[in-house]
Amino acid sequence: MVTLEEYETVDLFSNWDQKTQPIITIDNLKKWFPVSQQSILFSRVVANIKAVDGVNLFLNKGETLGLVGESGCGKSTTARVAVKLEEPTEGSVYFKGIDIFQPMSREEELAVKRQLQMVFQDPYSSLNPRRMVLDLIKEPFDIHYPDMLYEEKESRVLEILAKVGLEDYHALRYPHEFSGGQRQRLGIARSLAIHPEVILLDEPVSALDVSVQAQILNLLHDLQKEFNLTFMFIAHDLSVIKHVSDRVAVMYLGKIMEMCPTGELFRKTAHPYSVSLLSAIPRPDPRIKMDRIILEGDVPSPINPPSGCPFHPRCYKAQEICSKVTPQLEELQPNHYVSCHFPEI
Ligand code: SF4
């Protein structure tokens, strides 16, 4: 069987230098959703939900970047734009140096989408319940490699099922016949089928039992090593992020607050929001006294975010300037980026 690379007809990424350039760069990304007011005759936009409001981050080839933050902070929307499932309101996403939202031919568009795949939190709702597993996993080949022979597609489906720990006979079953963990294996198999370079994992284990979570995390780790994959791993659970990530980006109200190597986030936490998130991680030893920082109030509405630093209404270090001037994400120490006027380092 020939390799999938031999089917490639476009060469978009030959200028990318893996040693000096990140595989993905997200530059000042904004994604706003309009809120409309409806009258009998007219509909007009009265506000915008600023789900993503100026995100800057990057992923290096072969690493796992953990993206962490409270529900509704814009993590999933950032990922959906990064794999071209949504158009940005403003800003750019570069994959291997190419702006993925620049005008391009259908062949070029498919070449980009082949490389960027996503795994969803609830695989059941992302798998068509009326289609057999064989057809579900074959579908990406139908779209991207229409000239491939049916027999070759079928054998590639069986091969990828084996990689995710499923058997040949599972190909003839329907999604409802699988457990939660097996369905997530199917979601991973589907995203992996056409050999992407980057997979964005949107809370891939948060709906699973703890024992199954561990199996899926181990599977992802093995697949990453075997296929040299780059992961963006979205989660709200810092202990999972600590386990799987090489670097972490902490997000709050549509912006990145801190981004650094995982160990450094736990040793040299710089942003007050990260400090309060870390203080909430339960310790297994009851003798260890916890200095938990309880955040005051709720997360503000993304329709009308606070002026200046979005965290200032809840921050224990806030001063006058914080409500007036928006801090920028700056590299305070090598590879440690923080968006705060008064960081802890
Ligand atoms: Fe707190 Fe001010 Fe830093 Fe924002 S800029 S996190 S309000 S200290």
**Ligand 1 pocket residue status of 322, Cβ below 6 Å:** yes
Instruction: Mention the CATH class of domain 21-37+44-245.
Output: alpha beta
Q: Which atom of ligand 1 is nearest to the CA of 319?
A: 2
The residues near 172 (Cβ < 8 Å, ≥ 6 apart) are 132, 133, 134
311-334 pLDDT per residue, tens: 999 999 999 999 999 999 999 999
Q: What pLDDT shows up at residue 28?
A: 97
Q: What pLDDT shows up at residue 290?
A: 67
| Pair 201, 76: CB distance under 8 Å | no
Q: Give nearest CA residue, ligand 1 atom 7.
A: 312
96-152 pLDDT per residue, tens: 999 999 999 999 999 999 999 999 988 778 889 999 999 999 999 999 999 999 999
Q: What pLDDT shows up at residue 237?
A: 86
C-alpha–C-alpha distance, residues 189 and 223, integer Å: 10
Q: Give nearest CA residue, ligand 1 atom 5.
A: 340
Q: What pLDDT shows up at residue 267?
A: 93
Tell me which residues of the chain have a pLDDT lower than 50: none
The residues near 320 (Cβ < 8 Å, ≥ 6 apart) are none
C-alpha–C-alpha distance, residues 81 and 65, integer Å: 16
Q: What is the b/e burial string over 201-232, where b = at least 16 CB atoms within 10 angstroms of the residue's CB?
A: bbbbbebbeeebbebbbebbeebbeeeebbbb
State the sign of the Cα–Cα–Cα–Cα dihedral 126, 180, 236, 113: negative
Q: Where in the chain is the domain with CATH 3.40.50.300?
A: 21-37+44-245
**Ligand 1 pocket residue status of 327, Cβ below 6 Å:** yes
**Ligand 1 pocket residue status of 318, Cβ below 6 Å:** yes
